[in-house]
Structure 1
Amino acid sequence: MIEAGIADFLANPWVYLSMPVISAIVGYGTNVVAIYMMFHPVEFLGIKVKGWPNILGWQGIIPRRAAHMAGVCVDTITTHLITQEEMFERLDTERIARELEGPLNTMVEEITDAVMLQHQPTLWESLPEVVKRRIYKRIKRDMPAVISEIMAEIKVNINRMYDLKDMVITNLTRDKALLNEIFAEVGHAEFKFIARSGIYFGGLFGVLQMGVWVFYQAWWLLPAFGLAVGYATNWIALQMIFNPKEIVRVGPFNIQGLFMKRQPEVARDFGKLVAAKVLTPANIIEGILKGPYSDKVFTTIARHAQRTIDEQTSIVKPFVTFTVGTQAYRDMKAMAVERIILQLPEALHHVEAYADEALDLESTLSTRLAGLPPHDFESMLRPAFEQDEWILIAVGALLGMLVGVFQLVVLFGDEMGIWDGGASGTAQAALVVLRGIGLG
């Protein structure tokens, strides 16, 4: 058999030499497919059957597990990089009040006029202009102090007023493409390595496959090697990305996992991306106004606003309550507060530039991430593979096996007797397998 194998190799050298090439292509192709399947499609593509898991289709691993992935991202941020307490401590309440003074002054006149004209148009129009201006002036004068008080109360009770984790998870699960972008940016070099490693390891396995096939030609050998190539290239690549975590010196070489080695670069890119698209002042403000504790925030604002209205309208309150009644006066205050809260998001846009400067999140995130110990730093990317990496490896193995079957049929089908009626016992077994998967 050995002599026959060597003779066949000498007679058909290009057929045998094509085996490492095909293995390299298989290794590269399976890895590229596996990486693509991590991110795409963003939404489930396939057939959904009510009451059944979504097994008749596919959704990218990261988008499918968006809530978990977003949770991993925010856990890294809040546990190792910055807390919401520190973020809000960096904001100067008096500076925020000054930034809001202009838009709030405009709101004072608009809201006062709207409320009075809706509830008591005759009364409001009969008031002397000097009285109206006096009311406007007193409210505007004290508005910065009220804003400072509200911000100070929110800062002191930040854990009962704001949930940073909920804000990040809400935004990233809503925008799965952004979640993909974060993991793709963090691990862009590693994903390229996984793809290229398929060529290197696939070619090496192909050389071994060729050598074994020269001396031992069993029908199952090529599918088995294809499966091994598809499995091993992904598995080895994943190990090389994250291990060893610490630098290990081997002779003149320093060995360390590829992702761990890139920590300074990853820290810079992550800090820039998260500060620009996730922990933005706009998202933080939205989290305050729409998050799980927003009712407490609005209650705080309403309490201060109502107190201010009472204080600043004291010069006309007795006249108003006498004219329209106490309940009507309360309804007017409630409407004023509702309008303040309704217009607050637009007003708060005026503090975004200052908040971005004061928080300085890009620099903070990058610097602190660069200083994380390797085990904590690994958690930035590892979850993208961890739970479902077996799927990626299994897909690679399956595709590799199918290509091995392809090699068996196309390159050595005649020799194995697959295409003629007189196939040997092992070839007949190969035929059963081929027909079983639809190729025979």
Structure 2
Amino acid sequence: MEIKYEWWEYFMIPWVAGFVGYVTNVLALEMTFYPLEFRGIEIFRIKNEPWGLFGWQGIIPTKAEKMASTCFDLFTQKLFSIEEIFSRLDPVRFSQVMEDSVLLLMDKVINQVAEEHMPSLWNKIPKEVKDDIIVTADTENAAFLAGFMKDMQEHVMDVVNIKHLAVTACVENKDLIVKVFQECGEKEFVFIRQSGFYFGFAFGVIQMGVWFFYDASWILPTAGFIVGWFTNYLALKCIFRPLHPRKFMGYTIHGIFLQRQAEVSEVFARVIMTEILHVKAIWDAIFMGPLSVNFNAMLRAHTLVFVEKLVAEIKPLAIAAMGADRFARMKEDIAQKVIENLPTIIDNSYEYTQEALNMEETVRIRMQKLTPAEFEGVLHPAFEEDEIQLILLGGILGAIVGVIQLYAVFATG
């Protein structure tokens, strides 16, 4: 049989195939996460798809809303409920933490509103009477804050939407959801890159044999596609399968990601709680989220009762001077200003709230206790349906390298 090429040209095939496997896996991973926004000329693009006629956006950033939504549905179903978490706050302790700042706020607001609505009367009121208002505020403050916090705990689902908070954060800052996947799957991604070479080399040995006997021009691009396809496919399958440990020829095989359940749980809890569901983000969602109108109504109701007690001593004089309707409007203004200014002092509660909610430790411990199937279900379903795009991307990149190999190495054959 006539040998058409030099021995080294055949010898190169497995190494090139290994290189193809490695490069396609590396590129597929990079194109999974980047760019965060679409790059190119967006002449035509199907909604929620990473590719356009001339351009690309990372698969995970493209699917940020859908992935975050799926992930946090499973997250709240399996790891914690917001009712349980908020029940850990002690209303009395919360009132103690916020007491001083609320007193200062009420003093400022009452003086400001009184100056606006009844400047003459307010300036004539003796200092002792004004001081009595502050003393009353000091006395009633604890009951006001504790009662408000208890009411909020009982209706927490009416005032904060954790899923909306998480999904919005991931959509507006796509690097957050990228960070979740990258940090949780850091070691798996190293495996994907390295396994691309080993799987590719193995396929390349077969490819070399085929090319030795049959060197049609379509062989190398086709083989490149197959190598790119299967190296990505096998790498992804090795991460999550087998679901349970199995013995094979004396070795225990188990999905690489699943083997690291304890470590991944710790990383996942840390990233989620420090980057997305931290205390400031939760309070911001309460103050400005889609359910903020409910929170404001609740706060207004409690504040009006509180204010009624504070101004009880001057109420007869105030009504006589300004009328009942205007006095009622003044109380409404006080409540409104409390609502507007509470976000400026709520940071005084962050340390206690963080400690009391203890969300990071809760998520870590419960995630570590999940069964393999439940553990996989927290993260894998978020991008499982898009794995085919990663695999196909590897195949396309492999075919391109196959064409280059055909003309660069064997063009003189």
Task: Name 1:422's counterpart in structure 2.
Answer: none
1:382 lines up with 2:376 in the alignment: no
The gaps in structure 1 that reach 5 residues or longer are 416-440
Give, in whole Å, the separation in 1 of the partners of 2:277 and 2:342: 20
Q: Secondary structure at the match of 1:254?
A: strand
CA-CA distance at 1:345 after TM superposition: 1.1
Task: Name 2:227's counterpart in structure 1.
Answer: 229
Whether the 8 Å CA contact 1:101–1:144 is kept in 2: the answer is yes
For residues 78-114 of structure 1, the C-alpha deviation after alignment (integer angstroms, 9 at most, x for no partner) is 1111110110111101110001001111101110111
Whether the 8 Å CA contact 1:187–1:381 is kept in 2: the answer is no
Give, in whole Å, the separation in 1 of the partners of 2:277 and 2:402: 48
1:14 lines up with 2:27 in the alignment: no
CA-CA distance at 1:249 after TM superposition: 1.2
Whether the 8 Å CA contact 1:26–1:202 is kept in 2: the answer is yes
For residues 173-209 of structure 1, the C-alpha deviation after alignment (integer angstroms, 9 at most, x for no partner) is 2221111101111111111111111100111111111
Give, in whole Å, the separation in 2 of the partners of 1:409 and 1:162: 61
Give, in whole Å, the separation in 1 of the partners of 2:76 and 2:167: 12
CA-CA distance at 1:407 after TM superposition: 1.8
Counterparts of 1:413-432 in structure 2, within 5 Å, are 413-415=411-413
Task: Name 2:34's counterpart in structure 1.
Answer: 40
The total of aligned residue pairs comes to: 409
Q: Partner amino acid for 1:172?
A: C
For residues 388-432 of structure 1, the C-alpha deviation after alignment (integer angstroms, 9 at most, x for no partner) is 2222112211111121122222222222xxxxxxxxxxxxxxxxx
Percentage of pairs with the same residue: 35
Counterparts of 1:76-155 in structure 2, within 5 Å, are 76-155=74-153
1:29 lines up with 2:26 in the alignment: no
Whether the 8 Å CA contact 1:227–1:397 is kept in 2: the answer is yes
Shift in CA distance, 384/208, structure 1 to aligned 2, threshold 3 Å: farther
Whether the 8 Å CA contact 2:286–2:292 is kept in 1: the answer is yes
Q: Partner amino acid for 1:411?
A: V
Whether the 8 Å CA contact 2:35–2:57 is kept in 1: the answer is yes
Give, in whole Å, the separation in 1 of the partners of 2:404 and 2:42: 32
Give, in whole Å, the separation in 1 of the partners of 2:353 and 2:175: 26
CA-CA distance at 1:147 after TM superposition: 0.8
Q: Secondary structure at the match of 1:379?
A: helix
Task: Name 1:64's counterpart in structure 2.
Answer: 62
The equivalent position to 2:242 in structure 1, one of 244, 250, 255, is 244
Shift in CA distance, 370/52, structure 1 to aligned 2, threshold 3 Å: closer
Q: Secondary structure at the match of 1:307?
A: helix
CA-CA distance at 1:316 after TM superposition: 1.0
Q: Tell me which stretches of 4 or more aligned residues in structure 1 moved more than 4 Å.
A: 49-54
Give, in whole Å, the separation in 1 of the partners of 2:340 and 2:114: 17
Q: Partner amino acid for 1:343?
A: N
Whether the 8 Å CA contact 1:245–1:374 is kept in 2: the answer is yes
Q: Partner amino acid for 2:264?
A: V
Q: Secondary structure at the match of 1:48?
A: strand
> TM-score, normalised on structure 1?
0.90
CA-CA distance at 1:39 after TM superposition: 0.8
Q: Partner amino acid for 1:274?
A: I
For residues 59-87 of structure 1, the C-alpha deviation after alignment (integer angstroms, 9 at most, x for no partner) is 11111111111112312321111110110
CA-CA distance at 1:31 after TM superposition: 0.7
CA-CA distance at 1:51 after TM superposition: 9.0
CA-CA distance at 1:48 after TM superposition: 3.1
Whether the 8 Å CA contact 1:227–1:404 is kept in 2: the answer is yes
Whether the 8 Å CA contact 2:75–2:378 is kept in 1: the answer is no
Q: Secondary structure at the match of 1:4?
A: coil
The gaps in structure 2 that reach 5 residues or longer are none
Q: Secondary structure at the match of 1:382?
A: helix
1:287 lines up with 2:285 in the alignment: yes
For residues 346-375 of structure 1, the C-alpha deviation after alignment (integer angstroms, 9 at most, x for no partner) is 221111101111112221111110111111
Whether the 8 Å CA contact 1:186–1:381 is kept in 2: the answer is no
Task: Name 2:52's counterpart in structure 1.
Answer: 55
CA-CA distance at 1:159 after TM superposition: 2.2
Q: Partner amino acid for 2:204?
A: G
Task: Name 2:256's counterpart in structure 1.
Answer: 258
Shift in CA distance, 52/209, structure 1 to aligned 2, threshold 3 Å: closer
Q: Secondary structure at the match of 1:363?
A: helix
CA-CA distance at 1:162 after TM superposition: 2.3
Whether the 8 Å CA contact 1:62–1:384 is kept in 2: the answer is no
CA-CA distance at 1:52 after TM superposition: 6.4
Give, in whole Å, the separation in 1 of the partners of 2:146 and 2:392: 58
Q: Secondary structure at the match of 2:2?
A: helix
Counterparts of 1:273-312 in structure 2, within 5 Å, are 273-312=271-310
CA-CA distance at 1:160 after TM superposition: 2.2
Task: Name 2:190's counterpart in structure 1.
Answer: 192
Give, in whole Å, the separation in 2 of the partners of 1:52 and 1:224: 28
Task: Name 1:435's counterpart in structure 2.
Answer: none
The equivalent position to 1:325 in structure 2, one of 316, 323, 332, is 323
The equivalent position to 1:366 in structure 2, one of 361, 364, 367, is 364
Q: What is the alpha-carbon root mean square deviation over aligned residues?
A: 1.6
Task: Name 1:437's counterpart in structure 2.
Answer: none
Give, in whole Å, the separation in 1 of the partners of 2:273 and 2:261: 18
Counterparts of 1:338-377 in structure 2, within 5 Å, are 338-377=336-375
Give, in whole Å, the separation in 2 of the partners of 1:128 and 1:374: 71
